[in-house]
Amino acid sequence: MSQEYINPDYVPEPDKVNVKKGLEGVVLDTTAVSKVNADTNSLIYRGYPVQELAEKCSFEEVAYLMYNGDLPNKTQLADFQKLERSYRDISKENLETLRRLPKKSHPMDSIRTGVSFLGCEDERIWDATPKTNLDKAIRMLAKIPTMIAADLRFKKGQDFIPPNKDLSMAENFFHMCFGKVPQKEIVKAFDVSLILYAEHSFNASTFTTRVVTSTESDIYSATVAGIGALKGPLHGGANEQVMHMMMEIGDPAKAEKWMLDALAAKRKVMGFGHRVYKKGDSRVPTMKKYAQVMADVTGQQKWMQIYETLEKVMVDKKKIYPNLDFPAGPAYYMMGFEIDFFTPIFVMARTTGWSAHIMEQAANNRIIRPLSEYVGAPQRSIER
Ligand code: COA
């Protein structure tokens, strides 16, 4: 009997069993963190449209909003920044663990290991009071970029650059990765990408963090599980695949034929489609605008030319629209990041949304335990 065996005598009982493959259309719980409205192509974080947050706020302000429900005033922001900056260093042991990871391992596996290490180091691991969980969330927010940047440099055989506590989160990340802060247009585009990636309701990784939290496990374990879910190319890993695809195409003149061939071969084209949005992803216009700024600043127009052609052909032929990973991929590439660091950057942003959901789940918890419909071998006895 193979693993794929399905009992040939299985007869579904439609009145009794209604399997929701992929949980499509299932409303699992309430949330006050964000709302994705597919009909109006809109996304709000705690009531604020994401486009407005991207244009008017910093990522730190959005992180505060995620954790606390409201945007900070000046004093609250200053206190929050002070705390976040005070947490940026990582322990010698954690750094050493990252240094010793196989050079060929994927950076998502490194950051998953790094967050797991943070959990091992935190003596308050079983203290899940709202106050402690919030502090742990800010601890992760501050240390995840340091761990990603350390891994980036170790993989290139370079020395670790310690965090600079006078810089914003976006500036500091460039400083730790490359030893310098780029021009302000690049920093702004990166900050915008973090805001757009921060939160998106019950997506696969957030759902994962809520499932883990529902067992009364800890915030680090939930985040590690979220990172595992985000790594997959159907979720966060798509931003890396988009850039691999654009590099494979290489020349804007080849983009139309490439897409037509992909559609004829019924290939999944990364960076397109979405479970919830069917008429376009609310975050794409803002990220596309900043990807174009990256092309203007770096003189790499060809990626946006390939972008335009792929988008046009896909929308014309299939009415399937780009998702956020489509502009984010080339934008990160033009900022100078190695492709396999695109999804870890997504982690750096999404840790805010995950933590907000983890705290929300913990505050009003019921263990998440769905049912399944058995289609395997009928009951039998061991014959010996
Ligand atoms: N390329 C080609 N065809 C696609 C597609 C894509 N990126 N996304 C969806 N489709 C097709 C499906 O194959 C399906 O066709 P069919 O009806 O002939 O079988 C149809 O569009 C409807 O797909 P849908 O049910 O809406 O997809 P889903 O909800 O099961 O999956 C995604 C959603 C995001 C996983 C899917 O669109 C995908 O794999 N996209 C590429 C990966 C990606 O960019 N992920 C990041 C998401 S933010």
Task: Indicate the number of domains in the chain.
Answer: 2
Task: Give residue 41's pLDDT band: very low, low, confident or very high (50, 70, 90).
Answer: confident
Using alpha carbons, select from 171, 188, 13, 182 the residue that is nearest to residue 81: 171
Which residues lie below 8 Å from residue 223, measured CB to CB, with a gap of 6+? Answer: 115, 140, 209, 351, 354, 355, 358
**Residue 16 located in a structural domain:** no
Say how many Å lie between the CA of residue 270 and the centre of ligand 1: 9
Three-state secondary-structure class, residue 235? coil
Whose tokens are 């990807």? That residue is 291
**Farthest-apart Cα atoms in the chain, separation:** 75
Q: Where are the alpha helices (DSSP H) in 17-129?
A: 50-56, 59-68, 74-86, 92-100, 107-121
Among 342, 364, 173, 114, residue whose Cα is nearest residue 244: 342
Bridge-based pairing state of the strands 42-45 and 48-49: antiparallel
Residue 235 a catalytic site member: no
Atom of ligand 1 nearest to the CA of 324: 48
Q: Check whether residue 90 and residue 154 sit in a common domain.
A: yes
- The response to whether residue 279 sits with its C-beta less than 6 Å from ligand 1 reads no
319 conformational bin, left if phi > 0, alpha if psi -120 to 50, beta if neither: left
Same domain assignment for residues 277 and 206? no
- Tens of pLDDT, residue by residue over 62-93, are 999 999 999 999 999 999 999 999 999 999 99
Residue 14 has pLDDT above 70, yes or no: no
Predicted confidence at residue 327, as pLDDT, reads: 98
Q: Would you state the pLDDT for residue 13? A: 75
- 115 lies in the same domain as 182: yes
Give the three-class secondary structure for 181.
coil
12 pLDDT more than 80: no
270 lines ligand 1 (CB under 6 A): yes
Average pLDDT over residues 175-185: 98
34 to each of 8, 145, 202, how far by Cα in Å? 44, 24, 9
Domain harbouring 284, CATH code: 1.10.230.10
| 6 inside domain | no
| Residue 8 reports pLDDT greater than 90 | no
- Of the candidates 84, 315, 110, 94, the residue with the CA atom closest to the CA atom of residue 228: 110
Protein residue closest via CA to atom 27 of ligand 1: 275
Closest approach atom of ligand 1 to CA 236: 46
Same domain, 204 and 74: yes
Q: Are 138 and 38 contained in the same domain?
A: yes
3-state secondary structure of 202: coil
Distance 278 CA to ligand 1 centre (A): 10
Identify which of 306, 302, 312, 309 has the alpha carbon closest to the alpha carbon of residue 334. 302
Same domain, 131 and 210: yes
pLDDT single digits (tens) 201-221: 999 999 999 999 999 999 999
Mean pLDDT across 258-269:
97
pLDDT of residue 29: 97
- CB 284 near ligand 1, within 6 Å: no
Nearest CA to ligand 1 atom 35: 234
**Which tens digit of pLDDT belongs to each residue from 132-162?**
999 999 999 999 999 999 999 999 999 999 9
Q: Mean per-residue pLDDT for 45-50? A: 98
How far apart CA 171 and CA 249 sit, in angstroms, is 32
E strand or H helix that includes residue 348: helix 342-363
Which entry of 274, 281, 340, 357 is annotated as an active-site residue? 274
Same domain, 185 and 87: yes
Rounded to the nearest angstrom, the distance between the alpha carbon of 228 and the centre of ligand 1 is 20
65 close to ligand 1 (CB < 6 Angstrom):
no
Q: Which of 274, 283, 324, 326 to mutate to test the pocket of ligand 1 (most atoms within 8 A of CB)?
A: 274
Q: Could you tell me if residue 323 is inside a domain?
A: yes
The catalytically annotated residue of 151, 191, 218, 325 is: 325
DSSP state, residue 47: T
Domain holding 190, by residue range, is 34-232+347-363
28 CB near ligand 1 (under 6 Å)? no
Q: How remote is the C-alpha of 68 from its chain's centroid? A: 20
Residue of 23, 241, 272 best suited for mutating to test ligand 1, as the one with most atoms within 8 Å of CB: 272
Question: What mean pLDDT, rounded, does the chain reach?
Answer: 96
Per-residue tokens: 33: 């963190």
Report how far residue 10's alpha carbon sits from residue 6's, in angstroms, rounded to the nearest whole number: 8
Yes or no: say if 88 and 172 are a contact pair by the CB < 8 Å rule: yes
Is pLDDT of 6 > 90?
Answer: no
Q: Give CA–CA dist 72/68, Å, rounded.
A: 9
Name the helix (H) or strand (E) containing 256.
helix 255-264
Mean pLDDT across 257-275: 97
- Burial zone of 30 (CB within 10 Å; 0-12 exposed, 13-18 middle, 19+ buried): exposed
What is the pLDDT averaged over residues 121-141?
97
Determine whether 274 is an active site residue.
yes
